[in-house]
């Protein structure tokens, strides 16, 4: 307990009961579990291929070092210093920035709703790959299996698809169990088991794929460098976009997770481990996926470029075709869909935790009650909306807008607010440096205050231009569907975030309590002021700004 702690009796009564990671390793596994997700497996390979192949490594690494890791540190610093869920931590950082926290919570809520659907499909496909139930037309099979409406036929529909319903229920039950077990025994323990298992499964998959005929052509297609691509701004925006998404920065996740870390922790060293582990796995995914695509191109007698796909098309149409053609296809199927399930599950729990932590802080609830209050309604709504024939188009639109106008916009607003409006970077820098492996120095300020907002702003503008000037609506859906579930939904998240930040916090909430160790919460930032170095400070939380000393 620090020198600033109140008397023990009083501290016991006022201590928040939020749960904690038992140590740095638990945190690192949970953070890698969140970062390693579908973005690695089904997004990175195609993004790299389309944006310069081997040459993409350069913008990708630059994006990792100048934006991914610096923004990860920003999330860590806010969550760790102010020891709360996104709304509580932002509010303690500076009262009026609480809306950013609620905005992140609502974004997380929407992602959780649809993410469970992808996991449900992957779970079913793991079973389907045992007998290759898709026969010789995986495309048609996926259509029959999901019974998804498409294009202009899309409408509000509650026609349930039973096979999807059953596995969505299974996914939600598993999620509720893990979340109810809490931060250490649920979130961390599942990542500690699932992440190594995922790596083992994926490595076996990669080795198997590398020995398929044509694999080398696939790798050649992925890694052949197109240096001229480096001159195209779009390639750089794609690299930053991939890094932001892949590292789960600005989702509120890393902020929430770091609030469960012990106060004496090396934040910057942990961030580097998470950042490089995620990118390492991402490159492994590129190798596995392109070896398999090279095999498929050879089997069909076409160029690799003709079989490249990403997202749902890659996982549920291309991979089933590969599984059917390859020797020992069932093994490849179980490994591939099993990997999707494991990677997706550890990401789903991280996104649900953002919401649970916020409700727990707001009402001062126990772990079990906050889990049930959040997860039961979430599971019911998610299953009711997404196990229907409109599930897939709804997922498609929500995902597009919530990423581009939710996460990217929230990241842009938060970097600008922190850097220029509140001028909080010096405090955050000194907090990170207190026990960090290395001093983050001035480059961090430039990355968070300049490079990140510029790139985020450019990508926001460029995606708006391409959406607005496109001759057809997104995926050919009816205009009203895009307006309601795309534009209005994204705007509603921001507006609702602002409204939620205006509601008072009940007296029982965690906002008015000490942290889980019984220590008081650090005061708000003082604009433009760093923290005074103090040799006797055991934790960065004890450091104060000169003008903000208590």
Shorter beta-carbon distance to ligand PFF: residue 34 or 370: 34
Shorter beta-carbon distance to ligand PFF: residue 154 or 407: 407
Instruction: Give the residue from 70, 7, 2 showing the smallest Cα distance to 436.
Output: 70
Instruction: Give the residue from 187, 192, 189 showing the smallest Cα distance to 259.
Output: 187
Smallest distance from ligand PFF to CB 480, Å: 27
Q: Which residues bind ligand PFF (CB under 6 A)?
A: 34-35, 37-40, 111, 115, 245-246, 248, 347-348, 350-351
Name the DSSP class of 190.
H
Smallest distance from ligand PFF to CB 253, Å: 6
Smallest distance from ligand PFF to CB 248, Å: 4
CA–CA separation, 37 and 42 (whole Å) = 9
Smallest distance from ligand PFF to CB 5, Å: 36
| CB atoms inside a 10 Å sphere around CB 507 | 8
Shorter beta-carbon distance to ligand PFF: residue 347 or 370: 347
304 close to 218: Cβ distance less than 8 angstroms: yes
Shorter beta-carbon distance to ligand PFF: residue 20 or 35: 35
Shorter beta-carbon distance to ligand PFF: residue 273 or 537: 273
Shorter beta-carbon distance to ligand PFF: residue 44 or 444: 44
Smallest distance from ligand PFF to CB 123, Å: 16
Smallest distance from ligand PFF to CB 108, Å: 7
Structure tokens at 290: 């392109």
Instruction: Give the residue from 393, 336, 344, 318 showing the smallest Cα distance to 119.
Output: 344
Q: Give the DSSP per-residue string, 533-546.
A: P-TT-SSGGG---G
Smallest distance from ligand PFF to CB 285, Å: 10
Shorter beta-carbon distance to ligand PFF: residue 294 or 406: 406
For 214-234, the three-class secondary structure string (H helix, E strand, C coil) is: CHHHHHHHHHCECHHHHHCHH
Backbone φ, ψ for residue 388 (5° rounding): -110, 175
Query: What angle (nearest 5°) sits at the alpha carbon of residue 349, between those of residues 346 and 352?
Result: 155
Structure tokens at 180: 């109810």
Smallest distance from ligand PFF to CB 244, Å: 9
Instruction: Give the residue from 127, 174, 125 showing the smallest Cα distance to 320.
Output: 125
Shorter beta-carbon distance to ligand PFF: residue 242 or 389: 242
CA–CA separation, 151 and 392 (whole Å) = 11
Distances (CA, A) of 31 to 344, 438, 483: 13, 20, 34
């Amino acid at each position: 307990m620090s020198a600033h702690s109140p008397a023990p009796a009083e501290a016991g009564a006022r201590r928040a009961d939020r749960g904690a990671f038992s140590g740095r390793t638990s945190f690192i596994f949970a953070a890698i579990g969140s970062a390693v997700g579908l973005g690695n497996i089904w997004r990175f390979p195609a993004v790299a291929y389309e944006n310069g192949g081997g040459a993409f490594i350069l913008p990708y690494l630059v994006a990792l070092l100048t934006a991914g890791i610096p923004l990860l540190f920003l999330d860590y610093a806010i969550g760790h210093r102010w020891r709360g869920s996104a709304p509580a931590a932002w509010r303690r950082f500076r009262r009026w920035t609480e809306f950013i926290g609620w905005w992140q919570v609502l974004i997380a809520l929407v992602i959780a709703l649809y993410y469970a659907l992808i996991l449900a499909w992957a779970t079913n496909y793991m079973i389907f790959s045992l007998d290759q139930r898709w026969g010789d037309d995986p495309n048609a099979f996926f259509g029959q299996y999901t019974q998804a409406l498409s294009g202009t036929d899309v409408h509000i529909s509650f026609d349930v698809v039973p096979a999807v319903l059953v596995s969505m229920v299974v996914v939600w039950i598993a999620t509720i169990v893990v979340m109810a077990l809490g931060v250490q025994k649920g979130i961390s323990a599942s990542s500690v088991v699932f992440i190594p298992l995922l790596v083992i499964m994926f490595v076996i998959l990669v080795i198997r794929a590398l020995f398929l005929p044509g694999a080398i052509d696939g790798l050649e297609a992925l890694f052949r460098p197109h240096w001229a691509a480096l001159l195209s701004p779009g390639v750089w925006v794609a690299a930053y976009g991939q890094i932001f998404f892949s590292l789960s920065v600005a989702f509120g996740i890393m902020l929430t997770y770091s609030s469960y870390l012990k106060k004496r922790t090396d934040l910057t060293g942990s961030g580097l481990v998470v950042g490089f582990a995620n990118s390492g796995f991402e490159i492994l995914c590129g190798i596995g996926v392109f070896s398999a695509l090279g095999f498929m191109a050879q089997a069909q007698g076409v160029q690799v470029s003709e079989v490249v796909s990403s997202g749902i098309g890659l996982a549920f149409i291309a991979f089933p075709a590969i599984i059917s053609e390859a020797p020992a296809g069932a093994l490849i199927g179980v490994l591939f869909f099993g990997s999707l399930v494991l990677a997706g599950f550890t990401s789903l729990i991280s996104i649900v935790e953002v919401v649970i932590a916020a409700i727990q802080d707001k009402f001062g609830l126990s772990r079990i009650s906050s889990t049930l209050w959040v997860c039961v309604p979430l599971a019911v709504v998610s299953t009711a909306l997404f196990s229907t024939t409109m599930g897939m188009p709804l997922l498609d639109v929500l995902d597009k807008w919530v990423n581009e106008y939710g996460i990217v916009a929230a990241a842009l607003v938060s970097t600008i607010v922190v850097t220029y409006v509140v001028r909080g970077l010096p405090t955050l820098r000194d907090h990170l440096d207190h026990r960090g492996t290395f001093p983050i120095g001035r480059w961090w300020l430039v990355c968070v205050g300049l490079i990140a907002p510029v790139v985020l702003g450019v990508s926001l503008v460029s995606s708006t231009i391409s959406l607005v000037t496109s001759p057809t609506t997104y995926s050919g859906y009816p205009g009203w569907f895009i307006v309601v579930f795309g534009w209005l939904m994204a705007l509603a998240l921001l507006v609702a975030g602002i409204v939620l930040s205006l509601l008072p916090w009940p007296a029982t909430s965690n906002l008015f309590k000490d942290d889980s160790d019984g220590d008081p919460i650090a005061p708000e930032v003082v604009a433009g002021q760093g923290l005074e170095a103090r040799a006797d400070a055991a934790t960065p939380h004890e450091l104060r700004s000169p003008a903000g000393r208590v």
